[in-house]
Every structure is written in C-alpha cells, then in structure tokens.
Amino acid sequence: MARFAANLTLLFNELPILDRFAAARRAGFQGVEILFPYDLAAGELRQAARKSGMDVVLINCPPPNWAGGPRGFAAVPSLQDRFRRDFERALRVAEALSARHIHIMSGKGEGPAARDCMIANLKWATARAPHASLTIEPINQHDMPGYFMCDYDLAAEVLDAVDAPNLGLQFDAYHAHMITGDVLGTWQAHGHRVHHIQIAGAPGRHEPREGDIDFAAFFHAVDNSGYQGWVSAEYSPRTTTEAGLRWMAADIAAE
C-alpha cells in the first residue's frame, strides 16, 4: 500500500508553512516534502514535523532563488565549486530535518561536457554523504527549458555511470507523461531504479485522477513492482487543497 506524502510547497498553501504539517496529517498524509526549505528555520520545521508526527521525505538541492533563479548546478561545468557548497548546505538542512531524500537538480546544460560534469559531481556527492539517499529527476523541457536532466534514458545512463547504492531515480508521473507520453511504459523500463515517486495530473499539473494519466493502472503497476517508498502529491490544487483530495480517499479505499 502506498504511503502518501504532501508537498508542502504546493499543497495547503492557503496556510502558513508551519501549520501545513498538521493540516496534511488531518487530511490523511503520512509524510511531507518541502522543495526549498532554506529560508525557514530548520528547528521550527523540525518541531512542526515532530508535533504532527510527519516524516520529512524530500528536499531539493541546491537552494536556488525560487523566483526565477537557476534550478541547479550539477551539470554546469563552470560551477562545480558552487555545486559542492550548495550540496553541503542541503546536507546540513536534510540532516536537521531527518529528510529521507535529497533531490539533486542538474540545472541547464547539454552535451558531453554537461553529462561528464554531472557524473563527476554525483560521484563526489554520493561519496561525501554515503548515509544519504540522493535522487535525480528527469524534468520536461516545456516546463523548464534547457534543463539538462530531461530524459529517462539519460538518467539511466548517468545512474549507471555513477554506480552508487545511495543514488536513485525520482519518478514524477507528470514529467514522465510530458516527456514520453507513456507513464506505464516508462515505469516498466525504469521503475527498478526508483527511490521516490511524485504524482500530478497531466496536462495542467493539478490533482491526480485528472487528465490523461491512468493513475489506477499506474498505482497497480507500482504495487506489483514491490516498491516500498513514498508517493508524494506534488501538484497545484485547482481550488483549495482540501477540496481536491477525493483522489487520495479513493486510492486508499481501493487498497
């Protein structure tokens, strides 16, 4: 049975961030992820998570300028020092929050130089933090033009080259649909590499069960694969978060 986590960057954002933990718990979530928790006091976030009994499942690395700044540096050859500094900061925050995963963002790039840079940075990061679970995520170029890690075969190639047990694939059903048009086929090809799942309807990135993705079939495939990790709701609610949560009640009842 899936363990659902709420992305508190996107969900319950009608509430102050520290109140979102308890709201997510009341709604039936068991964990949370926060994309960029770096402008918040880690101690306050940790206290809110513990008070509500919520695991912190994932944070992103690096801490970018959310309002239009670069989305990562792992594949940018001229910014390896920046990558390492930001990874150290992300690691400190993840440890303070007992976060399960750190998603490493590639940033913009293309070609062999970007690929080699990302592999080198990931080898360094996995060796620097062998106790941490690190992920990479293909993100579609419609939403993030120029983003280097934009293809599942490329992700598999990078994962094989790094060959570290603490590095895995982050599988976002929305991005899988936008990149391949075939969420089930992409899961069947790459599900064995997955350390973390995120879900949203496509197109539009609203509630699951909307749009073109057959989530009933997807969840069935995930369950049959033996996946034991988290499934994070990372979508933009059409109205309020509470009003759109019927999808989760239906999935839990179907188990």
Residues marked as catalytic: 137, 234
Q: Which residues of 59-96 are buried (b: 16+ CB within 10 A; e: fewer)?
A: bbbbbbeeeeeebbbbbbeebeeebbebbeebbebbee
Can you tell me which residue has the tokens 């964990």? 31
> Three-state SS for 63?
coil
State CA 197 to chain mean position distance.
7
Half-sphere exposure of 146 (CA within 13 A, CB side): 8
**Element (H or E) spanning 21, and its range?**
helix 17-27
